[in-house]
Amino acid sequence: MYRGREGMWSWILHRVTGLGILLFLAIHIVDIYLLGWPDLFNKLLFFYRHPVFRVAEVFLAAAALYHALNGIRILLVDFWVEGTRFHRQIFWAQMVLFLLIWIPASLWMLSPVVFGR
């Protein structure tokens, strides 16, 4: 493995989260399509309440949030003259922002699992 730093890791994560979101989208398009079969659709939604899916949703949220924040970083790198000079600082700032949003969001998303509904 080449020993890259923030630049390489942020790119790898961007790819992975991008693929993850794509995978989710594929599934989501299919499951929304099932609106044409109301019984099946309802059963599926009930199925999605399973803890495994709740946890998966937390990771989905992480992927979307990371991808969006890093996307903004990429925009800055591409269009702000000093973007390439500060890309590492921007990365760390975005990771702090990521945690600030994702941790509370995850706790809230997992509360049904933890506290039961």
Residue 35 is classified by DSSP as G
Contact between 57 and another protein per CB under 8 A: no
Q: Using the rule CB under 8 A, which residue among 36, 79, 115, 116 binds another protein?
A: 79
* CA gap 73, 77 in Å, rounded: 6
Q: Is 11 in the site for another protein (CB under 8 A)?
A: yes
DSSP 2: -
- The smaller minimum CB distance to another protein, of residues 43 and 85, is found at 85
Place of tokens 């399509």: 33
For another protein, which residue of 84, 93, 107, 112 counts as binding (CB under 8 A)? 84
Instruction: Report if residue 13 touches another protein, rule: CB under 8 A.
Output: no
